Amino acid sequence: MLPKFSYVLRPSLLRTVNPLKEPLKSPSLSVLLPPPSTSIIKRSYVTFPSSFSQFFSTFLGSSSALRVRNIKVKFFQRLRTSRERLRTSRTRFSTSLKSTRTRLRRLKYSKTISLNLPETALLNPSLGSGWFDLTGAPLTTLSLTNRYLTPWESEATKKTLFEFIKWQFERYVSTSDSMLIPSDNDLPLKKIELIGGKRVTWLGHSSCIFTLSSSSNDMNILTDPHFTSRASPINGLGPKRYRNACPIDSNNFMEVVENLDVVVISHDHYDHLDVPTIKAIEKEKEGVQYFVPKGCKRILVGEGVEGRRVKEMGWWEEEVYKGVKFTCTPAQHWGSRTPWDRNKRLWCGWVMTSPDASSYYYSGDTGLPTRFPLFEMIGDRLGPFEIAAIPIGAYKPRWFMSSQHCDPAGAVAIHKAVRSRRTVAVHWGTFPLADEGWDEPRKDLDMACKDAGVCRETEFVTLDHGEGIDAKEEEFDEEGLDVYDFVSDFDEEDLEEEEFEEEEEEMHHNN
Ligand SMILES: [Zn+2]
């Protein structure tokens, strides 16, 4: 009896071979049977052809076998190329995944460092991040998208459209005093008089004339000139002025511009950089020198101001003009003139130092940093100041405004931090820009000064439009020493010791 075996391929293609009777001709296809003597009868052995070509050559002849071989070669070639293609695409995919991951990580990292840098930079000044110098002072910094940012609080002045709409809606439905308009008695206009000396004259909003007189020099510096009726890019729209001490078609304006030497601009907002006013100045007076923060020169040159008369500067940069040193100082604000140019131009304050070494400070628009000693730094580097002009208005609602505009209490804090001897309040009582009433900044300033122990009449003053005030008289003690220097140079203990030594000497003499 023959042992049982099973077929693997179609039975018609198979030959059954008994290896004992007939030796195998080809190894290609065979069904092996165990020797009949073995007791294993249920197992079957099947050998496959070693390759398809051998299989076909066995049954179909050599030419077909060649064809089959070619097919096989082509098939394997194709297989190899498709495998290679697969491998390349896989590599490409993993590379792109990796780079996306790196990009994401970098983004997260930059966000983290932007939030944490101030402390890190202060604790470890050698960090050299590029956002701060080695003393921890903030530097003019551009983001990856070429927009200026605030190194100590890079998210500080960022506002979403939703937040803006929310503010506008709240403003619309609220019944605040912001719509009230002052009468002539409430907010009188004074005649502008540029009489020399060390003096500042407020022309409304942030427009001031700093008069720096020294033995060798006399200079009138105008800050953020704005003498038209609206702070807006569109004629007849936008916040309308309450008072104008210096309309551009008035005699006042001619007088002011006639005596003008320098214009400094703090940023590109429409209530600070007013093109019609610049044009009017250019028409009336030749050779006015301009100092502007980075990115603003183009606007002026585009309006016909000669490029050589416009000096564009970054934070802490200095330039001496006719003996007066102009230093561009950092501020916490932002810039924009259209919906798509946010922070494309820098914002700043200005310090003017006259040849006799007395310094004057205009802060520009600024919020008060919550955890960074910005104004202490400015005071340490460039103060104390004879006169400062610091904004007190456009501060309500606080949730929207605090990062970009300080409130009166913040202004008093800045006044103290920069060590100003006399500060004039600006950025109030001119345009209805925010939710507070026109007189609220002045009233809140009363309280803030009281709380901080600052004299409202002599140290932090509010003026009428067009009014000026001299630098504070220096306080001298009986021996003619400056009180400020006296207090800072001596300790009480030192004094006591000195007195004691003197007494001892006297006793020796007497003996
Ligand atoms: Zn502004």
Q: How far is the CA of 432 from the centre of ligand 1 (A)?
A: 13
Record: fold of 184-473: Metallo-beta-lactamase; Chain A (3.60.15)
Instruction: State the residue for tokens 């610091």.
Output: 390
Residue 2 CB neighbour total at 10 angstroms: 9
pLDDT at 67: 79
Q: Is residue 468 within 8 Å of 193, Cβ to Cβ? A: yes
Question: Does the structure show a pLDDT above 90 at 295?
Answer: yes
pLDDT surpasses 60 at 354:
yes
- Distance (angstroms) between ligand 1 centre and the Cα of 180 equals 22
Structure tokens at 341: 């140019």
Please provide the average confidence, as pLDDT, over all residues in the chain: 79
Tokens read off for 248: 């551009």
> What separation in Å is there between the alpha carbon of 364 and the centre of ligand 1?
8
Residue 246 Cα to ligand 1 midpoint, Å, equals 21
Q: How far is the CA of 315 from the centre of ligand 1 (A)?
A: 17
Dist. CA 294 → ligand 1 center (Å)? 15
Q: Is the peptide bond before 397 cis (omega within 30 degrees of 0)?
A: yes
Residue 482, pLDDT above cutoff 70: no
In angstroms, what is the span from residue 333 Cα to ligand 1's centroid? 7
pLDDT at 34 over 70: no
Q: How far is the CA of 335 from the centre of ligand 1 (A)?
A: 7
Is the model's pLDDT at 450 over the cut of 60? yes
- Comparing 105 with 13, which gets the higher pLDDT? 105
* pLDDT given at position 1: 45
In this predicted structure, the answer to whether residue 385 has a pLDDT above a threshold of 80 is yes
Distance CA 315, CA 246 (A): 30
The two most distant CA atoms of the chain are separated, in Å, by 151
Q: What are phi and psi of 387, to 5 degrees?
A: -140, 140
Q: Which of 11, 331, 324 is nearest to 157 (CA)?
A: 331
What SS3 state is found at 175?
Answer: coil
User: How far does residue 272's CA lie from ligand 1's centre (Å)?
Assistant: 7
258 Cα to the center of ligand 1, angstroms: 27
pLDDT confidence bin for 309, thresholds 50/70/90: very high
Give the number of residues written for the chain. Answer: 511
State the distance from the centre of ligand 1 to the C-alpha of 269, rounded, in angstroms: 5
352 C-alpha to ligand 1 centroid (Å): 21
Distance CA 139, CA 340 (A): 24
For 211-225, what is each residue's pLDDT tens digit? 998 787 789 999 999
Ligand 1 centroid to Cα of residue 394, in Å, is 10
Q: How far is the CA of 242 from the centre of ligand 1 (A)?
A: 18
Strands (E), 7-147: 30-32, 45-47, 141-142
> How large is the average pLDDT for residues 450-473?
93
Q: Which residue has the higher pLDDT, 35 or 201?
A: 201
- Please tell me which residue, 299 or 125, carries the higher pLDDT value: 299
**Percent of all residues in the chain with a pLDDT value above 90, rounded to a whole number:** 44
Greatest mean pLDDT among 61-70, 95-104, 183-192, 401-410 lies in 401-410
Contacts of 501 (CB under 8 A, 6+ apart): none
